A and B are shown apart, each in its own frame.
Chain A
Amino acid sequence: MTSGGEALIRALSDEKIDIIFGYPGGAALHIYDAIYQQDKVQHILVRHEQAAVHAADGFARATGKTGVALVTSGPGATNAITGIATAYMDSIPLVVISGQVASHLIGTDAFQETDMIGISRPIVKHSFLVQSAEEIPAIVKKAFHIASSGRPGPVVIDVPKDMTDPKVEFEYKFPKDLYLRSYPILGEADQTEVSEAVKMLKTAKKPVIYSGGGVIQSDASQELVNLSKMIGAPVTNTLMGLGAFPATDNQFVGMLGMHGTYEANMVMSEADLIFNVGARFDDRITNNPKKFGLEAKKIHIDSDPSSIDKIINVDVALQGDAKLVLSQLCKEFENSELANTNLKPWWDQINEWKEKHGLNHDMLNLENQKDIILPQQVIQSLYKVTKGEAFITSDVGQHQMFAAQYYKFDEPRKWINSGGLGTMGFGLPSAMGVKFAFPDADVACVTGEGSIQMCIQELSTCSQYGLPVKIINLNNRALGMVKQWQDMQYGGRYSSISYEDSLPDFVKLAESFGHVGLKVEKFSELNAAMEEAFSLKDKLVFLDVLIDPDEHVYPMLEAGGSMSEMRISKKDKTF
């Protein structure tokens, strides 16, 4: 016989979960007592519930498994909301378990009561309120099934305290299998559409493959590479898709969109066929949808039918799982009798664009190098020292864009950032989740002095569990991305972007938690400090790098324009 609390933890273990991230409190105490009395599921105590969800999220993104967070009712639940919304926007499989006041108190404004099902409704894939303890194992099974299948997403299980009462016991039964009549999961796409797509791919003169996070979610990178090689077209990845196609491959033209490369955005602009694989025509990509791909036919693979024709109408919709649909396309491509179109003229044009305004990946060897450090150089130094093999988590802002542009990800699940919601504070806790999943891998959090302060309390968690992540702080002494917009669109009126003299001494701060802090102020010291940081295998190193405070992220799409309307530098623009 088990209690509800024991059943909950046992069901997690039956779902092959051995680590959860959380923070205890009144309504969750029975659950925490059940955790104490077993050793299959390890609980990681964070310092704030937002970090628990981000850590579970980082774990999920790096492993492809479902991440689990546990919080108490009321403030525990509301603190988790930013984390849940972050996972929802990026379609990350999470199960978030929240304590709730006892059933008979629901609706009475009891101490630490909040309507978690109501508050989380717009940012979850689904949610469950436990109404009888016996159904806990089945609810857990359903929650994991829904979170991890189809287009993944976060699922909340709200557990009133009486449902986990140790005095109420029942026989534990974990479902072997389940079928939900209201939840179909797409597999392969319609074969007629597949044939039509292949015909278009073979005859296009200027095709482009635009792939997103869906490729990573469905573990379809290999299939994407296979098909791309057959087609021979340029490939561009979204911010969420980086690593889905190897960045060092000759067919890769870089990230596209708001801060995409010149050549990627030009390719999108001039293409006669846009082949979207697991992306969603997000507004950071299309810029003005009315000016998007006017000359191009469009093919779209998505496992979520509601993503199709949402922003951009397409000619062929391939509704299904990216991995299966890409395999179908490969097979059809091989069997097709149509000849491939010669893409050399297209590539000549692309190489010309690359030549003209491509990113400089060799900024560590700039001529006339002054002692001031450019943010791009920090990322290039990080890339060099980690041989391009580290897991990189990031916060949100200029540093995020520099990391996305200059760290060449060759593998999926190595680049971990909050793309959809844009959550500052995501970087450090998600790095913790990655480090728990891959203790022997290099894990770096690329951040800024603004973002890092949003979840800096987690330095304490890292100390408790001995998590040697490397924090690469691109410190420009201001909220850089906001400042960039104020420079460009608000006449340089710097409203609330400066901390004046209040920034902490990050070196001393790190040291106070037992970590190592290193400060770098000169370019000549950068590479050595980076090497030192990664040579201290067992230590969390906080590398505080003072960078040029006036640097902007370029290219940048012009608001309201097409994808070819870009600012290339502070002086140059294409329009």
Chain B
Amino acid sequence: MLSHIAILMENQPGALSRVVGLFSQRGYNIDSLSVAPTQDPTLSRLTMTTSENSEIINQILRQLFKLVDVVMVQNLTEAEAYSIELAIIKLIASQNKVEEIISSANNLEGKILNEQDGHTMFEIWGDSADIDTLLASLKDEEFLEVTRSGLLGMTKGNVALNTNDQTEISYD
């Protein structure tokens, strides 16, 4: 089963490579990864998914937290969390045909973005597994391209992955 991990880290050059490098160095797999700055420009937030077992997940959480650039780590799988993934898909098909696909896709929402020369591009969002199912159902001869955001996630209620702390350097 896929586990979701959220990471808050310093928005420093090289910080992302430390996180990604940790996974290859210790032999853990990453299934998806998304990263962007937060409202605080000194912090980046990262969500990753991995299919490792729970013992390895515990190690991953500890190893991540040990990285000097990582401020906080959260296991979203164990928390009550909301998660979503977005995909943009391009098919060799008419707009009408794609509208049909969107409306019949289980548990997913979506909309058409563009149609050009018989190629229709649409976005679709929801659970990653449902996106997998949709992709598997598309016909080979129609399918042209897909890009996925990777999973985004957040805990419900008053638990939050943020920090009021600031790194402080004081001089005499």
Contact = CB atoms under 8 A, between A and B. Distances in A.
Q: Do A and B come from one complex?
A: yes
A180 B71 CA distance: 9
A404 B101 CA distance: 71
Interface string B128-172: 000000000000000000000000000000000001011111111
A180 B59 contact: no
B115 interface: no
A189 to B, nearest CB: 16
A483 B21 CA distance: 36
Nearest to A307: B62
B18 A180 contact: no
A182 B17 CA distance: 17
A178 B170 contact: yes
A181 B68 contact: no
A306 B25 contact: no
Interface string A124-150: 011101010000001001000010000
Nearest to B166: A181
A183 interface: yes
A179 interface: yes
Contact of A175 (B17, B21, B170): B170
Interface string B62-73: 110110111100
Interface stretch (A17-25, A115-123, A285-293): A115-123
Interface stretch (B8-16, B77-85, B117-125): B8-16
B94 interface: no
A121 to B, nearest CB: 5
A532 interface: no
A129 B167 CA distance: 18
Nearest to A142: B169
A310 B71 CA distance: 22
A182 B43 CA distance: 11
Nearest to A138: B169
Contact of B171 (A127, A131, A175, A305): A175
Highest count of chain A CB atoms <10 Å: which of B10, B13, B17, B68? B68
A212 B140 CA distance: 59
B58 interface: yes
Contacts of B71: 181-182
B66 A306 contact: yes
A310 B167 CA distance: 30
B171 A180 contact: no
A121 B17 contact: yes
Interface residues of A, number: 29
A182 B14 contact: no
Nearest to B70: A182
A304 interface: yes
A180 B165 CA distance: 9
Given A122-B21, A182-B10, A304 B66 contact: yes
Contacts of B65: 305-306
Given A176-B170, A176-B172, A181 B18 contact: no
A173 interface: yes
A176 B166 contact: no
Interface in B43-70: 55, 58-59, 62-63, 65-66, 68-70
A249 interface: no
Contacts of A174: 171
A182 B70 CA distance: 6
A309 interface: yes
A121 B21 contact: yes
A367 interface: no
Interface string A538-570: 000000000000000000000000000000000
A39 interface: no
A177 interface: yes
A180 B69 CA distance: 9
A140 to B, nearest CB: 12
Contact of B69 (A141, A182, A305): A182
Interface in A293-340: 304-306, 308-310
Contacts of B55: 309
Contacts of B171: 173-176
In order of increasing CB-CB distance, the 6 nearest A-B pairs are A181-B165, A306-B62, A126-B68, A182-B71, A179-B168, A177-B170
5 contacts: A175-B169, A176-B172, A181-B71, A182-B70, A306-B66
Given A122-B21, A304-B66, A305-B62, 15 more contacts: A121-B14, A121-B17, A173-B171, A177-B169, A178-B168, A178-B170, A179-B167, A179-B168, A180-B68, A181-B71, A181-B165, A181-B166, A181-B167, A182-B9, A305-B66
Interface of B: 9-10, 13-14, 17-18, 21, 25, 55, 58-59, 62-63, 65-66, 68-71, 163, 165-172
